[in-house]
């Protein structure tokens, strides 16, 4: 994941990804631009997947500490 992508929130990455998909589906994108958009979309997809995985891990940690007293510091920032 690139440094600038690492700072994107899930919502920002998903919004950009949706925009790319819409432009690609329109059929008005030249082939060279289509390839660039595909590559950017793949990067954004990895960002979204990483954010979702981090959220899933956090939820699992919270479930394991049902009484609320055993919370541990959550470290986000894994690379894909």
Please name each of the domains of the chain with its CATH number: 3-64 (1.10.287)
Average pLDDT on 41-62 reads: 92
Confidence class of residue 61 from pLDDT cuts 50, 70 and 90? confident
Stated pTM of the model = 0.68
Distance CA 11, CA 1 (A): 17
Q: Which of 15, 8, 14, 18 is nearest to 77 (CA)?
A: 8
- Which residue is it, tokens 């541990």? 72
Please tell me which residue, 61 or 45, carries the higher pLDDT value.
45
> Is residue 39 a contact partner of residue 2, using CB atoms and an 8 Å limit?
no
């Amino acid at each position: 994941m690139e440094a600038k992508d690492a700072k994107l929130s899930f919502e920002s990455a998903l919004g950009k990804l949706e925009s790319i998909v819409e432009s690609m589906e329109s059929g008005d994108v030249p082939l060279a631009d289509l390839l660039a958009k595909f590559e950017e979309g793949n990067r954004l997809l990895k960002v979204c997947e990483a954010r979702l995985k981090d959220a899933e891990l956090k939820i699992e940690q919270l479930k394991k500490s049902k009484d609320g007293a055993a919370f541990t510091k959550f470290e986000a920032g894994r690379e894909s």
